[in-house]
Amino acid sequence: MDSSENKNPNKPGLCLSFPYPQDPEDQNLLNDLGAYYDQQFPTNEIKSTAPYIPLIVHPEFIEEVELYEFIYTAKENINEECFRRENQRADQQDRLYYRIVYDCFDISPYQEVKCQSEPYYVPKNIDDTTLVFESRFESGNLRRAIQMYDYEYDLVLRTDLNTKGNMQWYYFSISNTRKGQKYIFNIINMLKPNSLYNFGMKPCVYSEKNAHIHHIGWVRNGQDICYYQNTIKKSPGACYFTLTFSLTTDHDNDTVYLAHCYPYTYTDLCKYLDTIVSNPKKNHRIRRKSLCQTISGNTCDLLTITTFNGRVENLKYRKGIVLFARVHPGEPNSSWMMKGIIDYLIGPTLQAKILRDNFIFKIIPMLNPDGVICGNNRCGSAGVDLNRCWIDPSKKLHPTIYHAKAMVKQFAEENEIVLSCDFHGHSRKKNIFMYGCVGKTRNRERIFPKLLEKISDVFSFNDCVFGLQKAKESTARIVIYKELGIINSFTMEASFCGASIGKHADFHFNQEHLQQLGHDFCEALLDFCSPDQSKVKVIMEELEMLNPYEEEIQDENADEDETKRRKRSKKPIVKKRTQIKSKKDIQP
Ligand SMILES: [Zn+2]
């Protein structure tokens, strides 16, 4: 697979190459939904071998946020209501419209397409209330919208490129809305067996008119939200899940965006970095270079932040910090946290200066640009989860991981790396927490998360999990820990929903909370590595007194199996005190 062969000939922008499917059998997805749709769609209607043509437009959003948005309390009987509705639909087949009103691959039957940027469906007249769907923009991933009733639509998500699954992230827009009208959306091919949507999470919604008139940015919106296993069979033993919700629109003829989380695209990152490197007040604190090219020919950025003036040989005495984000494209919350970190580090504060003077930060803000661009949830262009490739990454198939690992190894030869962290989003738990590794030192890898908890309103030490899980042995966290011996090797996980603790309990997270976590992370680093180790000492004593550690981590799937973990933590714990031999022992 030569990268030049895979470049999309329809390259739409300056710094953007849309990944090109090698296997156009995306139809497998629609075939999987066969039992549901076969009788409705003659097969010749759903054949398509052409990849979709992305639009050149890049939606831009204002960043205005409401700090406190309640987590939703679901109706008690919402589940039964959903099943009743499914049964009702099954009984009333002849009343359902089954009208395809959007498909990102197939040619629209409604109009002769003169220009690729025309929508799939154009309303016939002002009385035509059919919603106009669009998703052929960066990070968009709606494959098909099917109108079932006047105001109800079934939605099918695209699979991750060159895979037959991974659907969970969604991002699309609707227009031709009517003021005060309630619309029902059923995303019918999600794959995870459970979701925070059943625990109060609402979809992210952005109304262009609300932004323009009232200066309201992304908000949480939607009612009658439910996530449940539907009746469509994926394959023997595997099922699809439906996310259903209703949305009442505020304006006539509005364009409204809907997403699983606040989008943060590759273009957003490029623009952000362009602004920094062209700002004379900031650009002397940061170096931006290309780590490598992705399979689709996009640049993966590597940032170095430190104090650059002074003698080069001084640099080798500085300690290293390595940070990654967005290996999983469907987790833009990781990008927002990383933006918070970068803003802090290149900012004007004394604390930031101390960090730059004492550390060299190597940051890869987007490890999977191809996946982000094409709206994948989990994988890169080659159709694999790049956070399961760290043991032996392929230069051709996983170039960003191959080069990131080489960069970290080389960095470790030149400088002592004290901490590494990979940022993610979590779809089943609330709060922000970390996965850490665990070895003979037991408590040392818990100091940083514990310090962070003292600083952050949304970080939860109790939700942290420490272990070397078999299923995760090829993640950045475990490979960096094992191969480079970096004890403080972490994965940061931010809930897609919100907090269950502290002053933000029962509220959703938004872009601001996530960026604030980035600031808090930097402040925790200051305490962690301060020559005055008094805070670390206090934490260490607390951990020794309170930390319910066992002799060895027995449960290899600790974070996979919450029930087991909770049971285990309820077992009586034999407290053990270990002796601190010298100050050196507690220094990270
Ligand atoms: Zn992830």
Contact 437, 489 (CB under 8 A): yes
> Is 310 found in the same domain as 416?
yes
Contact 150, 140 (CB under 8 A): no
> Is 448 found in the same domain as 578?
yes
| Mean pLDDT in residue range 498-519 | 96
The CATH code of the domain that includes 307 is 3.40.630.10
Is residue 473 part of the annotated active site? The answer reads no
pLDDT for 377: 96
Give the C-alpha distances (Å, rounded to integers) separating 59 from 220, 254, 265, 343: 18, 14, 10, 23
Classify residue 135: in a domain, yes or no. yes
Q: Any idea what DSSP says for residue 108?
A: P
Classify residue 91: in a domain, yes or no. yes
> Is 307 found in the same domain as 239?
no
Tokens at 463, concatenated: 């939700």
Least confident of 140-154, 256-270, 566-580: 566-580
Q: Residue 248 above 80 pLDDT?
A: yes
| Mean pLDDT in residue range 436-452 | 88
- The total domain count for the chain is 2
Tokens at 175, concatenated: 């227009």
| Mean pLDDT in residue range 388-402 | 95
Classify residue 500: in a domain, yes or no. yes
What sign does the dihedral 170-171-177-179 (CA atoms) show? Answer: positive
pLDDT for 75: 83
Q: Residue 583 above 50 pLDDT?
A: no
> Is 227 found in the same domain as 319?
no
Q: Residue 41 above 70 pLDDT?
A: no
C-alpha 328 to ligand 1 mean position (Å): 5
What pTM was computed for the model? Answer: 0.87
C-alpha 81 to ligand 1 mean position (Å): 32
> Is 425 found in the same domain as 296?
yes
C-alpha 426 to ligand 1 mean position (Å): 7
pLDDT for 18: 52
pLDDT for 19: 56
Cβ partners under 8 Å of residue 194, min gap 6: 227, 428
Classify residue 157: in a domain, yes or no. yes
Q: Residue 574 above 70 pLDDT?
A: no
C-alpha 513 to ligand 1 mean position (Å): 18
Provide the pLDDT confidence category of residue 480 given band limits of 50, 70 and 90: very high
> Is 490 found in the same domain as 550?
yes
pLDDT for 53: 62
Q: What is the per-residue pLDDT across 211-231, written as a single tens digit (0 to 9) for each? A: 999 999 999 999 999 999 988
pLDDT for 57: 72
C-alpha 497 to ligand 1 mean position (Å): 15
Q: Residue 399 above 80 pLDDT?
A: yes
Q: What is the per-residue pLDDT across 168-214, written as a single tens digit (0 to 9) for each? A: 999 999 999 999 999 999 999 999 999 999 999 999 999 999 999 99
Mean per-residue pLDDT over the chain, rounded: 84
Which domain covers residue 72, as residue numbers? 25-45+56-259
Collapsed DSSP state (helix, strand, coil) of residue 189: strand
| Mean pLDDT in residue range 485-504 | 96
pLDDT for 163: 82
Contact 123, 116 (CB under 8 A): no
User: Which of 493, 523, 544, 562 does the annotation list as catalytic?
Assistant: 493
C-alpha 538 to ligand 1 mean position (Å): 32
Provide the pLDDT confidence category of residue 38 given band limits of 50, 70 and 90: very low
End residue of a domain, out of 259, 280, 314: 259
C-alpha 204 to ligand 1 mean position (Å): 19
Least confident of 98-112, 128-142, 325-339, 531-545: 98-112
Q: Residue 42 above 80 pLDDT?
A: no
Q: Residue 391 above 60 pLDDT?
A: yes
pLDDT for 374: 87
**More reliable by pLDDT, 279 or 383:** 279
> Is 243 found in the same domain as 128?
yes
Taking Cα atoms as reference points, which of 119, 249, 255 lies closest to residue 178?
249
> Is 288 found in the same domain as 184?
no
> Is 244 found in the same domain as 295?
no
> Is 275 found in the same domain as 165?
no
Cβ partners under 8 Å of residue 534, min gap 6: none
Q: What is the per-residue pLDDT across 306-363, written as a single tens digit (0 to 9) for each? A: 999 767 777 888 999 999 999 999 999 999 999 999 999 999 999 999 999 999 999 9
Classify residue 2: in a domain, yes or no. no
Collapsed DSSP state (helix, strand, coil) of residue 243: strand
Owner of token pair 């109009």: 111
End residue of a domain, out of 259, 276, 308: 259
> Is 172 found in the same domain as 315?
no
| Mean pLDDT in residue range 11-34 | 46
The CATH code of the domain that includes 243 is 2.60.40.3120
C-alpha 424 to ligand 1 mean position (Å): 4
> Is 572 found in the same domain as 486?
yes
C-alpha 578 to ligand 1 mean position (Å): 35
C-alpha 107 to ligand 1 mean position (Å): 34
| Mean pLDDT in residue range 149-168 | 90
Taking Cα atoms as reference points, which of 365, 352, 364 lies closest to residue 285?
352
